[in-house]
Structures are given as C-alpha cells and as structure tokens.
Structure 1
C-alpha cells in the first residue's frame, strides 16, 4: 500500500484523516480498494488519482471509528498542462462554518472551486512562492465540492 497518513483530525464526533498517495494505487492491497466502505468515493470532488503516476497527491477522508474503514473521501491533485496528475500536499486541516478547511501546496496547476477538477482560474507561474502554489480550500463535509479556493500570497 502506498498511502501515508499525514494528518488526523476530530470534529463533532467524526474522525478525519489526510493521506498521501503516489500513482499506482490499483492493486487489491491499495488504498482505493482495501478497507473502504462501498460507495466511499462516489459523488465526491475527485474519485481517484487521475492520469499518470508517480507524483504524491492527497486523499482527504472520514474514517469510520468503529471499523477503521474509509467512510467517505476524495482525492485532491494538481495537474500538468497535459492533464497528467501532479503533486498536491495538504499539511494542515481544520474546520470552520460546517466545512473542512485545508491548506495545500501544489507543484503544478491546482484545482479551483467546484464539484470536479477545474484549473484554478487566473493564475500563472508568477503566482508561485518557493516554486509552488500555496492555497486555502474550504470543502463540504460530504467531500462533494470545493466551496472556496484561495491562492495565498505567502507560505504558512
């Protein structure tokens, strides 16, 4: 399994986690197939890793506290100009106004707000800080959409 737990958070009786995943999670032992409640990746922002392989991306999820299985979750990736998946890491998670708040760092074009990946609007390489895009996201608790996406002007 190529998943690495990086964050755990507790909010209103629910357990959330952020893991990183490298490309290639397709075997029966991978995070997308093992210890997952059926339907956990349906109706979410991004149901899988995407195209290409290798870059580390983030998987944000709710964990069933009784079974330890992934109850619901979404992948969050950046993309290269050719559409291939690229690195996006989530080093901070929190909660505000009934939403999940994520701070993220993307190596390539990060997603903007919406129900699926759409390149963050009106950004260019000039918006990079230390060769990366630094972002703040607000996501619905059911992982169905990024409700708000902000490009940060400084690191955190």
Structure 2
C-alpha cells in the first residue's frame, strides 16, 4: 500500500513475517543507513512467524527507505504478534495507520506499552486499531482501539460493520 505526503514523498506499508523481518536483512537490501535509527520500533522484535507491519518513507528518486519503523502487537511474554496495517494516511505532522491486531496492540509512547483498552477480543477476533505516529516515526502519539459501535458508525474506518475490510 502506498500514499503521498504533502511534499509528494511516497510512504509505503510492507507486511513482514518472522522469516523476513530481520532488520539486518531489510537494511542490507532496501534502506539507507539511518532509516531505522531513532524510530519507535527499529526491528521485528522477539519471536517469529507473526505478520507485522513496516511503515516507511521512500526516496522517490532512488526507491530507498529514508525513514522506517516496524509496528507489532506483543504477547505477554514480549514476543511480537500480528499487527497488519490496512490503511495509511500522512500529513505534515502525522502518519496515521489503521490496522488489525491479533493480540495486545501498542499504546502511546516511544517504546511498546500495552494498550489499556485492548482487554478482550470482540466479535471480529482482532483489535481494530488506529495509530498516529509522529512524522519522524519516533513515537506513537495516539492509539485508539475501535469498538463495534464505532465500526458501525465510522465512515472513515478500514472495516465494515461485519468485520470485513473495506476495499
């Protein structure tokens, strides 16, 4: 998935799993030297097999990642778990991601903290979440877990009321 910011820079979302999520592999292949420096989540994290998201600003001239962070849910043992981004939007201060989280999604801050409103999976069997990162991808500024009522009444949501993804 791809979008452009106000300066016409491309921002992309990649989905990676435990087999391809090594920040070393991604660094060697696809990013500038400092793309993962001073960001919210600079690596896949512990564990494996979970599908997590990588959010990146791309240099439009050469296709190289200029700034990037991983986004994942986390199990109670600290291992990464699935957080799959479905939509991205960018303005001059914020990168907004709507995602499905299989376990406890992240809350606000510059390191992972469990979201206090992610208590029990609802009817969708995932946590529908909206995350706002600062434009430098250093911290999560807001993190909102949607209720079923919000999915029913939210025209800007990535989901329909029956939990299916919007196209």
TM-score interval for Structure 1 and Structure 2 normalised by the shorter chain: 0.7 to 0.9
Q: Give TM-score, length-normalised by structure 1.
A: 0.88
Structure whose residues are more often helix by fraction: 2
Correspondence 1:5-154 to 2 at 5 A: 7-12=1-6, 13-25=8-20, 26=22, 30-96=25-91, 98-125=93-120, 127-154=121-148
TM-score normalized with structure 2 length: 0.82
Aligned residues: 148
Structure 2 CA distance for aligned equivalents of residues 10 and 73 of structure 1 = 15
CA distance in 1, matches of 2:133, 2:145: 15
SS at match of 1:62: strand
| Structure 1 stretches of 4+ moved >4 Å | none
CA distance in 1, matches of 2:12, 2:75: 26
Larger relative strand fraction: 1
How much is the aligned-residue C-alpha RMSD, in angstroms?
1.7
Distance 2:56 2:23 in 1: 20
Residue 8 to residue 84, structure 1, CA distance change in 2 (3 Å): same
